[in-house]
Amino acid sequence: MLRLNLSRDPKWIDLGHDVRVLTLPLTSAILISLRGDLSLQDAEALSPPEQALRFAKAVASRVITEWEGVGDEAGRELPVSPEAASALMDVFPLYRAFEAHYIGPWLRLDSEKNVFAPLPNGTSAGAPHIARPAGESVPTAP
């Protein structure tokens, strides 16, 4: 059963290393916006891990709206920007946490697809018979 979360509220995700990010929900609108992302245009030529990283960077740059525990080289608090959110994904433990806690639930849902997909030779070709055969025909009601 699909458990539909109707909340559109942003959600805090703890990425570890004292870093938390506030994210928008991963909606169809965000995923559709990725179609035009130039960084994903040539992704087919990359290895699966490189594709996953590019996807995470593109998603992070769209959904992270606030964060805590992220600073520049001098230790000053760094404001959230698409470029900085993308760069945050270059820190491997943070990328893995973002992938596991934010992208992962969507990937699991996407991989489920339709559990009851039709069989290759028709919807009932492999199904067992569960009903008794119909009896003799009867006249229709007037």
Q: Within a domain: residue 86?
A: yes
Q: Is 23 helix (H, G, I), strand (E, B) or coil?
A: strand
Please report the pLDDT score of residue 41 as a whole number. 75
Q: Within a domain: residue 56?
A: yes
Q: Within a domain: residue 130?
A: no
Q: Within a domain: residue 62?
A: yes
Q: Within a domain: residue 141?
A: no
The sheet with strand 64-68 has its strands ordered as 11-16, 19-23, 64-68
Question: How many separate domains does the chain show?
Answer: 1
Q: Within a domain: residue 47?
A: yes
Q: Within a domain: residue 63?
A: yes
Q: Is the pTM of this model over 0.85?
A: no
- The model's confidence at residue 34, banded by pLDDT at 50, 70 and 90, is confident
The answer to whether 26 touches 55, Cβ cutoff 8 Å, is no
Note the pLDDT tens digit of each residue in 41-58: 777 788 889 989 999 999
Residue 91 to residues 53, 95, 96, 97, 114: CA-CA distances in angstroms? 11, 6, 9, 10, 35
Domain that holds residue 54: 11-112
Q: Within a domain: residue 117?
A: no
